[in-house]
Amino acid sequence: MAIPYMSQGQDPVGWVTEAYPRPLRYALSRRGGVPHTVRTVIAGQLRVRTADQLRERIERRWFGGFAHLPAPELLERADDIAMQLVGAPGCEVSLRCEDGWLLDQDANCMWCRPSRTEFHMRDEDLTDGRRSSAETVARMAAEIRTSMRTNRRYPNGPRR
């Protein structure tokens, strides 16, 4: 079980490497331990991220892409996986981007993970920009409710 906080005087690089999941740590130990290149990358990332953020990055990336690997493949790719789990996010535009998420804004990175939302407006909705009257809104709402009840088989009234 990993220590949930870094004690005073503890090596931050070592504390980050403790966050590697147990199957990966086992595979790394069979291959001679955590490679020095991985430790160098972690030290470089500690200049721009906290140790906690790097540990969260390891967990997020592990479950997002490597947790499903069978043991033989994990053993074969252990060094590369260890590097990928702590490597820089890859966004060349924003330093605060963490795998497509802006840390200081709690929003998607517009460059790494652009919104795929599309707005399809009818021409009659764009003509004059005025708001609909109360009667029009009520009529449209009634049409939507009727459509939902007939097309999707929603109940017609309260259940008893």
148-157 residues labelled b (16+ CB within 10 A) or e (exposed)? eeeeeeeeee
Global confidence as pTM: 0.66
Q: Residue 134 is encoded by which pair of tokens? A: 């109360």
What tens-digit pLDDT sequence spans the chain (160 residues)? 455 666 666 789 999 999 999 999 999 999 999 999 999 999 999 999 999 999 999 999 999 999 999 999 999 999 999 999 999 988 877 788 888 888 887 778 888 877 676 767 676 666 665 667 788 888 888 888 888 777 765 555 555 5
- SS3 for 77? helix
Q: What is the CA radius of gyration of the chain?
A: 26
The helix/strand/coil state of 22 is helix
